[in-house]
Amino acid sequence: MNFKIKICSAITFILLFFLVSINAQQTNSHPDLVFPDKWSEPTVLPDHIILTFSSDPATTQSVTWRTNTTIKKSIAEIALADGAPRFWRNALQYNAVTTLMNADSINTANISSNYHAVTFTNLLPDTLYAYRVGDGKYWSEWFQFKTAAKTAKPFSFLYVGDAQNYIFEVWSRLIRQGFKKAPDARFIIHAGDLINNAHNESQWHEWFMAGGWLHGMLPSVPTPGNHEYRGYNADDDSKKVSHISVQWPYQFTLPQNGPEQLKETVYFFDYQDARIISLNSNRLRKEQVPWLDSVLFYNPNKWTIITFHHPIFSGAGDRDNKELRDLWKPLFDKYKVDLVLTGHDHTYTRGQSPKTKNSLTGVNTRNGATVYVVSVSGGKMYNLSEGLWNGYADAQLDRIAENTQLFQVINIDGSKLKYEAYTATGQLYDAFDLVKRAKKGNQFIEKVNKAIPERSHKNTITYDKKNK
């Protein structure tokens, strides 16, 4: 009798399993998210709180936030972080600069907001601080950040390619996994196309919601992509006139040391022993050459890292940014730039230029050259065209990926730069080291053998634009 009951129970379980499986298969479509009306509108509470660098990261720190237009004055408080909960008794107050963003008539923005910005000054290097923002009545939570050291010390940072699509849905898991993998990272480079439609307030809100409190603790280093440019209205679109995202200059407080017409999209800052340079690959490319030449020539740092959106070695579709390559690459070669970090292609490619040869020393090492990376962090994926890199006489393609969300952790420790790329599930996908050598190019040490096998559309879950 018990045996019959067990058999019946087993059959029932199997039937239920198949019924659930069938039901699950029927719900595998992926419609766009629908957000409530007015979900992205500001209130009296501070939101879109974000740290950025605008001056020396060792002694200053900028923070920007948003409210509705009823909040006309705001302040920020900062104190040395301490384990005691009433550390705030020692806080200093800074008055914010408040600016009205009137975007009521701009397509997809259709909003007016007040943006508030403070730059904390006279900070102690290599020190943990806590801060909050508000108007004296409505406050944010307390956040923490650490200033840079004045001398060369080990540090790490994150780098991501295009967030752009399905931001709230799937970029959120990627950026949070990045923070989990590198909780002591000091900043994050966003290599353009942070959103899909330049002025779209709802998409910017997605971006801030997906990152959440990380934006308030991990300074952002944004560079603009082509999707950060669009016309303000139908007339602009008909004339093919585009403007940088109306939100960009309001929500990011960035260095003012770039060319006059490209302020806060072209800039640089020094972080300990590294110079980080943001270029604008969308506008006035030729005009950036003398500025870049000067910034690279007067560079006292050991490491030089450049970010911009359009890769000069492309791996997707029919893309080939020859003009950009002809204008900027000679300077990269001349000054031996270490690392170039880009996006745009919605694939992953990593390689070197000029080409280098493997040594026969037992470990996979090569003579140094600039390393070029293209990566994607959001949910939109393209097909890879390997032949494009192979067609560049001076370029060597070493690692590829399709259909894979990735973030990168870059660690600098004296004469060694350690690079690692991870999937959204935390698997190591790519790795190499660069080692500085006196009067020689970087020693390149390939470590991809420690990573998971190459991923492509053929061996991953199908990416279908119709079914998403």
Which CATH number covers residue 135?
2.60.40.380
- Residue whose structure tokens are 């990627």: 174
Q: What is the CATH number of the domain that holds 270?
A: 3.60.21.10
Whole-number Å distance between alpha carbons of 276 and 62? 17
**Domain identity same for 254 and 398:** yes
State how many domains the chain has.
Answer: 2
**Domain identity same for 254 and 349:** yes
What is the side-by-side order of every strand in the sheet holding 303-307? Answer: 267-271, 274-278, 303-307, 339-342, 370-374, 348-353, 396-401
399 closest CA partner among 349, 354, 344: 349
Identify whether 262 is part of a domain.
yes
Whole-number Å distance between alpha carbons of 163 and 195? 6
Identify whether 245 is part of a domain.
yes
CB-CB contact of 455 with 402 (8 Å): yes
**Domain identity same for 224 and 330:** yes
CB atoms < 10 A from the CB of 322, how many? 10
Identify whether 170 is part of a domain.
yes
**Domain identity same for 112 and 213:** no
**Domain identity same for 77 and 140:** yes
Q: Positive or negative, the Cα torsion across 279, 282, 288, 289?
A: positive
Whole-number Å distance between alpha carbons of 131 and 142? 5
Q: Which two tokens stand for residue 412?
A: 């600098």
**Per-residue confidence (pLDDT) for residue 7, from 0 to 100:** 53
Q: Which two tokens stand for residue 291?
A: 């500025």
CB atoms < 10 A from the CB of 222, how many? 22
pTM of the predicted structure, to 2 decimals: 0.92
Residue at a domain's end among 113, 146, 179 = 146
**Domain identity same for 56 and 104:** yes
**Domain identity same for 252 and 393:** yes
Q: Which residues of the chain have pLDDT under 70?
A: 1-31, 317, 357-367, 386, 465-468
**Domain identity same for 306 and 391:** yes
What residues does 76 pair with on adjacent strands? 94, 133
**Domain identity same for 356 and 436:** yes
**Per-residue confidence (pLDDT) for residue 360, from 0 to 100:** 41
H/E stretch holding 155 reads strand 155-160
Q: Which two tokens stand for residue 437?
A: 């050598």
**Domain identity same for 200 and 307:** yes
**Per-residue confidence (pLDDT) for residue 9, from 0 to 100:** 52
**Domain identity same for 53 and 165:** no
**Domain identity same for 213 and 324:** yes
Q: Name the pairing type of β-strands 143-146 and 155-160.
A: unpaired
**Per-residue confidence (pLDDT) for residue 440, from 0 to 100:** 79
CB atoms < 10 A from the CB of 277, how many? 22
Q: Which amino acid is at 402?
A: E
DSSP per-residue letters across 323-390: HHHHHHHHHHHHTT--EEEE-SSSSEEEEEES---B-SSSS-EE---EEEEE-B-SS----B-HHHHH
What is the side-by-side order of every strand in the sheet holding 416-423? Answer: 97-103, 111-120, 61-67, 47-52, 220-222, 188-190, 155-160, 406-413, 416-423, 428-437, 440-446, 365-366
Q: 371: phi > 0 → left, psi -120 to 50 → alpha, else beta; which?
A: beta
CB atoms < 10 A from the CB of 307, how many? 23
**Per-residue confidence (pLDDT) for residue 312, from 0 to 100:** 93
Identify whether 199 is part of a domain.
yes
Domain span including residue 83: 47-146
Identify whether 41 is part of a domain.
no
